[in-house]
Chain A
């Protein structure tokens, strides 16, 4: 890949709670290249949103414990909107209901030292690109349909050409047609250079598979596997990734029930996560070595995995069979 855009190094971010720290992000290291669209996948509660927030804005309960994140040399969180921007999950309610959309955008860009007047032609061009007329600037959010609001927010979020765009579960609330449209728009934004690189957070691997260059899988506050999207879906190495993918009805095919369910057991609680490999008590391949924490290692160019088994046994086919056998045998893990 080309030059590195985002560099995250051993980042640890915990939530302060009365019962102790929730170790929601426990030492993650990865890179996102220029023009890369990285899918970030994993079951709900594995720390995806925490990772996204730690790149943009810490909420009141988040505590930076160690590590750093650099975007083109700028330390994150920082450069909100101009360098890093977000398309939120709640696009339907993201815009102030009592202010016209054009007014909202004007207020926002002026606060960042831009002239709304000068940006207006580009803004209108982009609105038209996503199928909205310039009239929406004179509308209140309530006058737009859900899909229109979603598109308006996408344009608004990327108006100042941020280096990194984070989209957190942007499609979860949408129907299938709108999901596809949003996914395609994201790719288009990257292709036209509105954003340099992108992290698309989702619990739905089959969705990011269609648009992402690479996919990063998280499990219980740690990274499990990162690889080019094709490789990750067709030749996954981490037992967790395999289970995620084999629990899909058919990879790459859109289907009503392709949620990441169907892996027996639950992820560990992150207040007191287990030592060693965090997937150990659900892993069909666990062995004694797994009591030690597996490092996130590059096993093939561009393919990282944190699993002792995957690192020691080169052949992924074997493991997949073992995994599938276990599943079809129906043995309770």
Chain B
């Protein structure tokens, strides 16, 4: 057990180091000079003033030292929880910008992932036993999973937002409101949250439902199901076993899909101008704010790694085969 988690931790650590390195590298090779851009934005008209200002900003951002030192500094600062200063929202620290955006993204992602997983598994399992339900769940599920997040988002925004006028289609809350713990504000927050959530939920739901339906059908054909049937076990018992066994590959599926779901959430936020990490990434790119971009990416990577680790642990707890195999090995 210890060896297993030791190995897993090592793998996650390596992934983390690679991710940080890539994350440091990529923006530096992006086209465009962020400092120059900042200078043009502040419209420094005097060409002679540009050189000292440039020097000043490069020092502020730590760009005045050799590359290797920038890399080391990056790690040191990162471990201190400092990701630099945003160019776009200068001089707000990147960490603060991200901290403001994270709740929005998590509020979208966590309910969308959990609810779609639970509902998808339930509906998929039902579909595997009722012909009429199967005939609807299967095609609907396929259409939903095959729909790109962006496209479903646009469709929902257009139909329920613009045409239907039921939900707002942009922002985290209305501009005229001040954030506070009032019913009006929370209601407003919810109505802005609903469409991005729904589009994430629907796409993921289709995938889980189809996966579960296929897994159950496969499980019901397994030898153990056949044997139980031969021994006159009631269908309910066999289905209970099949459902439980099918949940295990669905859990693996969840770990595998996590990255896709996060990417979907980022894209969805962009469609709905929802002030989460996805929207930050877009703004960072538009403003060539590579500190912000780095920080956001890094945050996403750490989040996905952590979530994967949690799923790994859950898997070991729920699947006796893995648990027993590990005990046998140690």
Contacts and interface: CB of A to CB of B under 8 A. Distances in A.
Interface stretch (A88-96, A249-257, A287-295, A301-309): A88-96
Contacts of B319: 98
A102 to B, nearest CB: 13
Contacts of A86: 227, 230-231
A81 interface: yes
A88 B229 CA distance: 12
- On chain B, which size bracket covers the interface? 20 to 34
Interface stretch (A23-31, A105-113, A207-215, A319-327): A105-113
Interface string A70-86: 00000000011110011
Contacts of A230: none
Given A56-B230, A81-B231, A98-B244, A88 B223 contact: yes
Nearest to B241: A96
B228 A108 contact: yes
A94 B223 CA distance: 5
B321 interface: yes
Given A57-B230, A108-B233, A98 B248 contact: yes
Contacts of B232: 79-82, 111-112
B223 A93 contact: yes
A88 B237 contact: no
Contacts of A156: 231
A111 B237 contact: yes
Contacts of B234: 111
Contacts of A82: 232
A54 B223 CA distance: 18
A97 interface: yes
A95 B227 contact: yes
Contacts, number: 71
A82 B229 CA distance: 13
A116 interface: no
B216 to A, nearest CB: 14
Interface of B is mostly: helix
Of B232, B233, B241, which is in contact with the most chain A CB atoms at under 10 Å from its CB? Answer: B232
Contacts of A153: 227
B321 A111 contact: no
Interface in B280-321: 319-321
A143 interface: yes
A173 interface: no
A85 B233 CA distance: 12
Contacts of B224: 93-97
A156 B125 CA distance: 29
Contact of A88 (B222, B226, B321, B328): B226
A95 B245 CA distance: 12
Nearest to B248: A98
Contact of A111 (B233, B324, B325): B233
B244 A108 contact: no
A157 B234 CA distance: 16
Contacts of B324: 140, 142-143
A99 interface: yes
Contacts of B320: 97-98, 100, 140, 142
29 contacts: A56-B230, A57-B230, A80-B231, A81-B233, A85-B231, A88-B226, A88-B230, A90-B223, A90-B227, A93-B223, A95-B224, A96-B228, A97-B245, A98-B241, A98-B244, A98-B245, A98-B248, A98-B319, A98-B320, A100-B320, A108-B233, A108-B237, A111-B232, A111-B237, A142-B320, A142-B321, A142-B324, A143-B328, A156-B231
Interface of A: 56-57, 79-82, 85-86, 88, 90, 93-100, 107-108, 111-112, 140, 142-143, 153, 156-157
Interface of B: 222-224, 226-234, 237, 241, 244-245, 248, 319-321, 324-325, 328
